Amino acid sequence: MTFEEIAWEFVEVFDELDISEINEMLAKNVPLETLQFFTQYASEFASPGEAKPELHKRLPNLLLIGYILRVLEERLLEETH
């Protein structure tokens, strides 16, 4: 699978999840320290005075999605070896 195919599969699956399922998926795949890091990093990277409020609110989620996609990609690579 290419990274693009992984991303589209992720979007399709993610779109079908409700909030409790998303929270469960996050708890199983993302360490709490990583979630805290993304929140802190986003706050420092896009401080409210320097970035549009929409970006400031969404940046932690965008970082998290990228992280999850990378985890999925690594797991698929492990399966093929």
Give per-residue pLDDT as tens, 1-48. Answer: 777 888 888 888 888 999 899 889 888 889 999 999 988 988 887 766
Q: How many domains does the chain divide into? A: 1
Q: Which domain holds residue 31?
A: 3-80
| pLDDT for res 29 | 87
| pLDDT for res 9 | 86
Is the per-residue pLDDT at 50 higher than 70? Answer: no
Residue 34 burial (C-beta neighbours within 10 Å; 0-12, 13-18, 19+): middle
CA distance 20 to 18: 6
pTM of the model: 0.72
